Chains A and B, each alone.
Chain A
Amino acid sequence: MGDYALGVNYMKVVTGVVGNDIHVVANRLIELSLDARGYEVFNLGVNTYLEEFFDAVVETGAEILMISSLNGEAEGWSREVKLLKAKYKGLDDLIMMIGGNLVVGTGNAEDIIPRYKNYGFDIVCHQVDLNTGLDMLETLLEERSIKSSNTIKNTTKNKTKNTTESND
């Protein structure tokens, strides 16, 4: 964990709640936690459509897209992920993560996870607590050894960030 504090892992994440879902609480907590772990967060908030997510990834050059859902409507949207993503160029290396309540009503993770992987997600968290989910992301990043390549550009940014915080 010490690494993050030093600003070693400063990657860009686009996050938000998909569809007409207005449940905002977890969305804010995801932003706080990602920030604490040293990511640069672009939070699109609740009520965000798929196109907006991909547009934001292109605009910010984010390496990670983290979609969440509470009311379960994610499933309906997720079916369109592959089709839509293919329309954008250069998103092949984008890490796709989804979490929250991923079905309307009840369902079990063994069925849900493969289905969502099939929709094009690398990490699927159905009713998994926030920190466990974020740890899963870390593990994947380490496996793909993406972290180290991002070291250099982070140092200055993190310094600016710390200054802002100490003002408060």
Chain B
Amino acid sequence: MSLLQEEREIILSNEYVDNFDFAEVTEFVKNASKDLFISHHFKNKNNKKMLVQPRGGFPTYKKQFALNEFFVKANVDVLPLTIDSNTRLNDYATAKKMLRLSEENDVDMLNGYPLVNHGYRTTRKMITHFNKPVSLRHGTPDARLLIETAIASGIFEIEGGPITYLLPYSKNFPLDKAFLYWKYVERVCANYSKLNEPINRESFGPLTATLVPPSITIVIQLLEMLLSLEEGVKSFSVSFAQQGSMNQDIVTGAVIKKLAKYYAEQINCGDATINLVYHQWMGAFPTNKDHAEQLINMATVIASMVGADKIITKTREEASGIPTKEANAKTVANTQYTLGILNGLPNVVDEEEEEMLTLQVKAIMEAVFNDPADTLWRKVFNSIKNGIIDVPFSPHIINHNNMITIRDAKKNIRIIKRGNVPIPDRCYAYDKAQCDLTKDTTSIVNDIIHDIGIMQ
């Protein structure tokens, strides 16, 4: 028996798992409907239509089923399954208790679907009933049991990664452990990918959604992609969120597509399919619900300009908490409508900005690869530890927080203090030249506060 299989058996002999049947699950994946695989949809997109996927998860099976019915009526392309926060922290006991309370009282005591507690036999009934691809949305540093349950349920897209699910969400969880736990996830996904269509892995590009410069976003996307491909994953989505400047989004999209292909080929994984996912605005949302709808609509237009393969939607209720299924489905229908009428988009190319961004990304990637560690994950780990990668506004203790970013007059995110990140001098000077830096720090802090709340 392989080491991986031994580890799998330990993980799946958890007291909250009801007798995981490896042979049956393998048979299920082998014979599963192609429609359940988002990788299959990416490959066979009619007229290159962007796939639309909302966010959403409710504690009970009944409510999740009802939400999915609403989404299907709204012509959804990809269904979400958002996992509750207890499960994300591997606290299945609390999730179980809260699920029971939710079922008995008809009040939601969890902010998502406790997949491990529901189990794969139950959940699979729902997934196969709708016969749409489902994307697993969570935020779990140790997702080993969760993704085993997900794939056994028929969920063939797994979001997350060791960096993007840790740096924005956690203060103390050890990053080196996260890399190893995610290595398990990649291997399991890679192995299942041999049976039918590939399991798609997706990285979480929005990170802290607070003034993250595109170079940092792209570097982290590329590194999680490489960590995934080197384990044998054959379908991967890089992603980023609306940044606040249409031009910067278009430039980011162009550079990330080009460099994802380039770096995948560098490690002889050019045969993997790389997709691009765009998140509608992930920062602070307007409380005015009509304004929220305008923002969402604009994001859809930008996603089309960027040429995304999938868009992940927000709702008009974003500022006020977990959205109702009605509001959530409405966004899906509206986004589909907007995509349907967006025709004859111009092709915008900004060569200077693309060059600057490419130089930044390549310089950081080179510094990561030059780390003397023996494996890629250790190189990445060291690079975060020594500040070569620095994510603005990450709460994690390992993050340096020495990079400072601000918006220029056109609302592009610019680096005005690079910390230990090896931004080339030329790019650094270029970024700073776009901003008014004659102000004192107090005014700059006020500008940053304004720049964070730009959409409110």
Contact = CB atoms under 8 A, between A and B. Distances in A.
B88 to A, nearest CB: 13
Contact of A45 (B210, B397, B418, B419): B397
A83 interface: no
B401 A28 contact: yes
B47 interface: no
A24 B394 contact: yes
A37 B401 CA distance: 19
B442 A36 contact: yes
A61 B394 CA distance: 27
Given A45-B171, A168-B418, A29 B395 contact: no
A10 to B, nearest CB: 15
Contacts of A28: 392-393, 401
Interface in A8-39: 22, 24-25, 28-29, 31-33, 35-37
A74 interface: no
Where chain A touches its partner, the secondary structure class is helix
Contacts of B98: none
A102 interface: no
What bracket does the count of chain B residues touching chain A fall in? 20 to 34
A22 B208 contact: no
Nearest to B417: A168
Interface string B383-405: 00000000011110100010010
A151 interface: no
Interface residues of A, number: 17
A53 to B, nearest CB: 15
Interface in A128-168: 130-131, 168
Contact of B393 (A24, A35, A131): A24
A46 B441 CA distance: 23
Nearest to A27: B395
A22 B442 contact: no
Where chain B touches its partner, the secondary structure class is loop
B405 to A, nearest CB: 11
B393 A25 contact: yes
Nearest to B402: A168
Contact of A24 (B172, B208, B440, B441): B208
Contact of A36 (B392, B445, B449): B445
A47 interface: yes
Given A28-B401, A45-B171, A168-B418, A22 B445 contact: no
Contacts of B440: 36
Contacts of A130: 445, 449
A1 to B, nearest CB: 8
Interface centre among A35, A37, A131 (most CB of B within 10 A): A131
A46 B392 CA distance: 14
Contacts of A45: 171, 395, 397
B395 A46 contact: yes
B438 interface: no
Interface string B444-456: 0110110010000
Given A33-B445, A47-B395, 20 more contacts: A22-B169, A22-B171, A22-B395, A24-B393, A24-B394, A25-B393, A25-B452, A28-B401, A29-B449, A32-B404, A32-B445, A32-B448, A33-B441, A35-B441, A36-B440, A45-B397, A46-B395, A130-B445, A130-B449, A131-B446
Interface of B: 169, 171-172, 208, 210, 392-395, 397, 401, 404, 417-419, 440-442, 445-446, 448-449, 452
11 contacts: A22-B171, A28-B392, A32-B404, A33-B445, A36-B441, A36-B442, A45-B397, A46-B171, A47-B171, A131-B442, A131-B445
Q: Which 6 residue pairs are nearest across A and B when measured between Cβ atoms?
A: A36-B441, A24-B395, A47-B171, A46-B395, A33-B445, A32-B445
